């Protein structure tokens, strides 16, 4: 798991001998450098390897405990995290690594999901659909079944209920391939268009797929607005299946990111013209990125349909892509580990944010609003202090804090007011929370939590080049010179005076 | 640009006109063919489709103007524009259904509106304590408060009030979400715009009920209008007259503003080159805020007309999405960044959706293409982007795309 960290550590610099002070007798400067230089990411290999193995064992143990535990909800949430993780990691390949803003991921997921669902549908459900008068599925679509294909190939052992998992894998793979074909089709406009024009084309594609899926011609395969129920959910809700496929996706994406293909894709992100001038076939690489990303999106769509148990059009609205965008932007565009952290946050808010959307008295809402506003004012103050902006407390902070105090007072002491007797239900508060979070991230820290760097042990135990050592502190006249003490003390004083009311 | 093209006469292409003529010929042939097959598809049928297409196209044009102005100035696809449109419709709805207000609410709303109005006046006067700004604020407060307490709104008053509300909303969106991102990568701005759009959708669910709402202000314009086309009766509503007329008035007013005023000149300068305009003394932030103000006001006008045309407005979570995206497609088809382009693209999209559906109607042997018409906008947009990214009337954008 030793990923590459861009910055050289202090020891790397110190280990290279100073050329000017080198003794004449030493055989060769380069030899010394070669012998003594050790990249920071190969140092402490044993420690990092042990930590990796320990972490993986802990993860598997935790998953095992959850799997054996009694909480069905927790199991489902973890499975959903893994499914959305596959989708976000694949979207990250286009949005983060290649730098193309793609907004049509729900379209790829829809294609993969419907394909997988149709291919894996049990025979009894097929008979019901064939007999039903409301079903719009054509006979050809009803005949599309991995089970039938296995029988036709003479593999009767793979057509039994016990071997459903083999058929599910085959269906997932085919769903991914079909989505990848559409990924290539969507990738072609990327050869002519750039930037937001391409974003809008991918968005138009995603919406057009969803609108087309309910039209009479496509309804022969999708059953129109009804969709089809009865997709086996044993796999989509199984922790081992979803996390297994997630680990495959993460492995492929990580290997891809550090391969020559990944470097070419990152080159396209940084400067498309320059990378073309350096000999990168940008057309091929962009279409390849779209195809690979769409493949994994199709797999995620298949698992998502299996998680829900039905294939319906309202599973694949644009909000899906929006949540993936939130996850990617919060975690760090281009960083696989960051994207997974963002996905965890989004899934957590989605699944455990129900209290936000329940009905409370208005006084409770006032208290909540006051708390949020005061927290916002405090955070704004901390940010301004961290950025060393003056004045630390500006009109915006004062206004927000005053509004917060008013709301808090009204909520706490005004609960007898007739106007506050009604209760109010916070429909849509989860999505509002996530969109406000996304706006704040985009304004305050556009690179996300992790930026473009990956989590690694070397990164975790790295030396902080931006923090001075004790020796440097001693040399720093600024901190030791008593003449500066007064100014520093005054600074502290003015901060203390301007604290929150 | 225009000076150059008028000095040196450009060689005109002959084939676009030929293609247009050919298309019109095909359409006429198709109409006669349909009439010969089934007399139900007579002149009145196509005349009805024509006026309805023009009506829908006018609505798209009004929304598309907001997209194209913002894109022309700061190169941002304002995803939240469709949601501004939604808020405009609901604001007007509450305007003409919920009056009169209780006085505390009226005072709170009037204070907010007056503050927004003062901010708008502030664009021109430059100071909040300027006498003109203060007088405007007091006047707006008094008018809105009295109106909310006592007056019953008609559709026109509701439309104007809703235009002011969405104007303030547009300026607020720009101030809160987009202005901190000036100079940021365009993808960041686009993601922020999507987030604002999502915020407004869910805010709509929170503030307004999440169900389809009837939108029927008391007016004779939504009443029946009967034409005679070649002796065949055609029943429509007066809205087919009202919508194009109001659209024309607003478009002419906008054109006069952009071409004849100092702020309009500053706007054109900013659209050409924001940095240079800033160096020449243009207050670029103020120009951008004006752009958002005008675009959002047009969206509210379109929203009220939309609601009156169709008699109901959809759930706030989804009402803004399809009209917004289709209007964006219209702006791209016409040539994004150009005002005539937005109007041409909007009307063209209206015809594409309504008239094309009328040319291929549902018959006994053919199921019709009504179910597919929502996708025409996307397909046309993708086609235009691939063939001619600058749009039908746009300048050549191949460097910028």
- Pairs across A and B, CB distance < 8 A: 125
pLDDT digits (tens, 9 = 90+) for B339-366: 999 999 999 999 999 988 888 888 777 7
Are the Cβ atoms of B379 and A208 closer than 8 angstroms? yes
Looking at the complex, does the CB of residue A429 fall below 8 Å from at least one CB of chain B? Answer: yes
Beta-ladder partners of A425: A359
On whether any CB of chain B is under 8 Å from the CB of A433, the answer is no
What stretch of H or E contains A199?
A: helix A195-212
CB contact under 8 A, B203 and A101: no
Return d(Cα B229, Cα A293) in angstroms, integer: 56
A163 burial via Cβ count (<10 Å: 0-12, 13-18, 19+): middle
The answer for A227, left when phi > 0, alpha when psi is -120 to 50, beta otherwise, is left
Decide if B385 and A318 are in contact by the 8 Å CB cutoff: no
Radius of gyration of chain B (CA): 22
Q: How far is A446 from chain B (nearest CA, A)?
A: 7
Q: How do the pLDDT tens digits run along chain A, 501 residues long?
A: 344 444 444 444 444 445 444 445 555 555 555 555 566 666 778 888 899 999 999 999 999 999 888 888 999 999 999 999 999 999 999 998 998 889 999 999 999 999 999 999 888 888 888 888 777 788 888 888 888 888 888 888 788 888 888 899 999 999 999 999 999 998 888 787 777 788 888 888 888 888 888 888 888 888 887 888 888 888 888 899 999 999 999 999 999 999 999 999 999 999 889 999 999 999 999 999 999 999 999 999 999 999 999 888 888 988 899 999 999 999 888 899 999 999 999 999 999 988 888 888 888 888 999 999 999 899 888 888 888 888 888 887 888 899 999 989 888 887 777 767 778 788 888 899 999 999 988 888 888 888 888 888 877 777 666 666 677 766 665 655 555 555 555 555 555 554 444
Find how far residue B393's CA is from the centre of its chain.
18
> If we measure between CA atoms, which residue out of B187, B197, B186 comes closest to residue A94?
B187
Contact A242/A236 with Cβ under 8 angstroms?
A: yes
Query: Which one, of A97, A63, A85, lies nearest residue A246 by Cα?
Result: A85
Q: What are phi and psi of A462, to 5 degrees?
A: -70, 160
C-alpha separations of A409 from A102, A370, B88 in Å = 46, 8, 33
Instruction: Give CA–CA dist A384/B72, Å, rounded.
Output: 34
Burial B135-156 (b: 16+ CB within 10 A, else e): ebbeebbebbbebbbeeebebe
Does A432 contact chain B (CB < 8 Å)? yes
Q: Report which DSSP code applies to A94.
A: I
B334 contact partners, CB below 8 Å, separation of at least 6: B64, B68, B340, B341, B342, B343, B344, B345, B346, B348, B391, B392, B393, B394
| Interface contact A446-B385, CB threshold 8 A | no
Higher pLDDT, A118 or B151: A118
| ipTM value | 0.84
**How many C-beta atoms lie closer than 10 Å to residue A40's C-beta?**
20
Q: Among B188, B198, B389, select the one facing A442 at the smallest CB separation.
A: B188
User: In chain B, which residues have their Cβ closer than 8 Å to the Cβ of A271?
Assistant: none
E strands, A97-255, in order: 228-229
Phi and psi at residue B234, in whole multiples of 5°? -130, 120
Sign of the dihedral defined by the CA atoms of residues B220, B221, B224, B229, in that order? positive
C-beta atoms of B195 and A446 within 8 A: no
Q: Which residues of B touch A429 (CB under 8 A)?
A: 202, 206
Query: What sections of B208-320 are H helices per DSSP?
Result: 239-260, 262-272, 274-279, 284-310, 316-319
Which of A204, A319, A446 lies nearest to residue B188, judging by beta carbons?
Answer: A446
- Cα–Cα distance measured from residue A130 to residue A144, given in angstroms and rounded to the nearest whole number: 12
Is residue B113 within 8 Å of B140, Cβ to Cβ?
yes
With beta carbons less than 8 A apart as the criterion, state whether B18 and B25 touch. no
**HEC states along A256-302?**
HHCCHHHHHHHHHHHCHHHHHHCCCCHHHHHHHHHHHHHHHHHHHHH
Q: How sure is the predictor about B63, in pLDDT bands with cuts at 50, 70 and 90?
A: very high
Run of H or E including B119? helix B103-125
Distance from CA of B219 to the nearest CA of A (A): 34
Which site among B198, B369, B398 would you substitute to test the A interface, given the most A Cβ atoms closer than 10 Å to its Cβ?
A: B198
Shortest alpha-carbon distance between residue B117 and chain A (Å): 20
Q: Given CB atoms, is B321 within the 8 Å cutoff of chain A? A: yes
Q: Are B167 and B297 in contact (CB under 8 A)?
A: yes
Q: Which of A194-198, A284-288, B29-33, B224-228 has the highest mean pLDDT?
A: A284-288
Q: Where are the beta strands (DSSP E) in B182-223?
A: 213-214
Rounded to 5°, angle at Cα A160 from A159 and A161? 125
Q: How far is B186 from chain A (nearest CA, A)?
A: 7
Give contacts of B378 with chain A, Cβ < 8 Å: 204-205, 207-208, 211
The alpha carbon of residue B232 is apart from the nearest alpha carbon of chain A, in Å, by: 33
Interchain CB distance below 8 Å, B201 and A207:
no
Are residues A101 and B205, on separate chains, in Cβ contact within 8 Å? Answer: no
Among candidate residues B298, B320, B319, the one with its CA nearest the CA of residue B82: B320
Each residue's pLDDT tens digit, B78-107: 999 999 999 999 988 888 776 666 777 788
């Amino acid at each position: 798991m030793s990923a590459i960290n861009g910055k050289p550590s202090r020891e790397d610099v110190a280990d290279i001998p100073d050329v000017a002070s080198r003794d004449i007798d030493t055989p060769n400067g380069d030899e010394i450098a070669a012998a003594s230089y050790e990249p920071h990411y190969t140092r402490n290999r044993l420690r990092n390897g042990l930590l990796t193995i320990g972490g993986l064992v802990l993860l598997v143990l935790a998953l095992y405990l959850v799997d054996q535990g009694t909480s069905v909800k927790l199991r489902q949430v973890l499975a959903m995290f893994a499914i959305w993780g596959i989708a976000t990691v694949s979207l990250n390949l286009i949005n983060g690594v290649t730098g193309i803003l793609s907004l049509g991921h729900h379209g790829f997921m829809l294609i993969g999901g419907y394909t997988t669902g149709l291919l894996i549908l049990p025979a009894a459900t097929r008979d019901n659909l064939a007999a039903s008068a409301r079903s719009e599925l054509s006979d050809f679509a009803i005949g599309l079944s991995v089970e039938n294909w296995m029988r036709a190939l003479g593999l009767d052992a793979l057509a039994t209920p016990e071997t459903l998992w083999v058929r599910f894998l085959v269906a997932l793979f085919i769903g991914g391939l079909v989505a990848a074909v559409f990924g290539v089709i969507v990738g072609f406009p990327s050869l002519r268009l750039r930037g937001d024009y391409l974003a809008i084309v991918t968005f138009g594609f995603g919406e057009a797929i969803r609108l087309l899926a309910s039209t009479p011609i496509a309804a022969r395969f999708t059953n129109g607005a009804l969709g089809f129920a009865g997709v086996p959910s044993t796999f989509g809700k199984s922790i081992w299946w979803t996390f297994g496929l997630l680990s495959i996706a993460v492995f492929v994406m990580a290997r891809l990111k550090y391969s020559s293909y990944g470097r070419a894709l990152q080159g396209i992100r940084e400067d498309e013209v320059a990378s073309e001038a350096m000999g990168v076939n940008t057309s091929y690489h962009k279409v390849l990125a779209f195809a690979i990303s769409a493949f994994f999106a199709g797999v995620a769509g298949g698992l998502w349909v299996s998680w829900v148990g039905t294939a319906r059009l309202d599973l694949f609205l644009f909000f899906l892509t929006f949540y993936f965008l939130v996850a990617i932007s919060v975690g760090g565009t281009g960083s696989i580990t960051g994207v997974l952290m963002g996905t965890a946050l989004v899934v957590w808010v989605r699944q455990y944010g129900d209290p936000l959307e329940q009905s409370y008295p208005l006084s409770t809402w006032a208290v909540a609003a006051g708390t949020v506003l005061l927290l916002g004012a405090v955070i704004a103050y901390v940010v301004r202090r961290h950025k060393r902006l003056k004045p630390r407390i500006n009109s915006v902070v004062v206004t927000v804090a005053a509004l917060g105090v008013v709301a808090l007072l009204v909520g706490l002491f005004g609960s007898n007011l007739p106007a506050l007797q009604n209760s109010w239900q916070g429909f849509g508060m989860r999505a509002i929370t996530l969109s406000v979070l996304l706006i704040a991230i985009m304004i305050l820290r556009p690179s996300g939590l992790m930026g473009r760097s990956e989590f690694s042990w070397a990164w975790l135990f790295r030396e902080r080049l931006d923090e001075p050592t004790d020796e440097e502190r001693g040399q720093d006249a600024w901190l030791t010179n008593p003449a500066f003490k007064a100014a520093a003390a005054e600074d502290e004083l003015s901060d203390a005076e301007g604290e929150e009311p | 640009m225009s000076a150059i093209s008028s000095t040196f006469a450009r060689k005109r292409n002959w084939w676009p006109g030929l293609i247009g003529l050919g298309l019109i010929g095909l359409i006429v042939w198709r109409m006669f063919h349909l009439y010969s097959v089934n007399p139900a598809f007579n002149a009145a049928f196509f005349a009805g489709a024509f006026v309805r297409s023009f009506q829908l196209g006018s609505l798209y044009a009004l929304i598309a103007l907001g997209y194209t102005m913002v894109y022309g100035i700061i190169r941002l696809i304002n995803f939240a524009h469709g949601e501004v449109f939604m808020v405009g419709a609901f604001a007007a709805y509450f305007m003409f259904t919920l009056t009169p207000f209780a006085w505390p609410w009226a005072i709170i709303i009037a204070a907010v509106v007056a503050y927004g109005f003062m901010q708008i006046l502030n664009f021109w006067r430059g100071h909040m304590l300027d006498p003109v700004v203060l007088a405007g604020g007091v006047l707006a407060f008094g008018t809105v408060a009295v109106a909310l307490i006592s007056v019953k709104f008609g559709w026109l008053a509701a439309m104007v009030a809703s235009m002011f509300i969405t104007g303030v909303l547009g300026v607020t969106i720009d101030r809160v979400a987009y202005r901190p991102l000036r100079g940021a990568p365009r993808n960041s701005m686009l993601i922020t715009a999507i987030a604002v759009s999502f915020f407004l959708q869910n805010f709509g669910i929170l503030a307004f009920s999440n169900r389809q709402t009837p939108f029927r202000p008391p007016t004779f314009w939504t009443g029946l209008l009967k034409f005679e086309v070649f002796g065949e009766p055609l029943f429509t509503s007066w809205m087919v007259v009202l919508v194009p007329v109001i659209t024309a008035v607003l478009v002419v007013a906008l054109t006069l503003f952009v071409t004849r005023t100092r702020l309009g000149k500053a706007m054109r300068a900013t659209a050409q080159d924001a940095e240079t305009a800033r160096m020449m003394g243009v207050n670029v932030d103020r120009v951008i805020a004006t752009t958002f103000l005008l675009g959002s006001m047009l969206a509210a006008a379109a929203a009220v007309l939309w609601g009156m045309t169709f008699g109901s407005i959809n759930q706030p979570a989804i009402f803004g999405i399809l009209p917004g995206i289709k209007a964006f497609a219209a702006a791209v088809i016409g040539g994004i960044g150009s005002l005539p382009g937005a109007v041409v693209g909007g009307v063209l999209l209206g015809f594409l959706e309504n008239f094309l559906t009328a040319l291929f109607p549902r018959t006994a042997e053919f199921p019709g293409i009504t179910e597919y018409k929502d996708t025409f906008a996307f397909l046309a947009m993708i086609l235009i982007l691939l063939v001619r990214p600058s749009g039908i009337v746009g300048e050549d954008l191949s460097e910028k795309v």
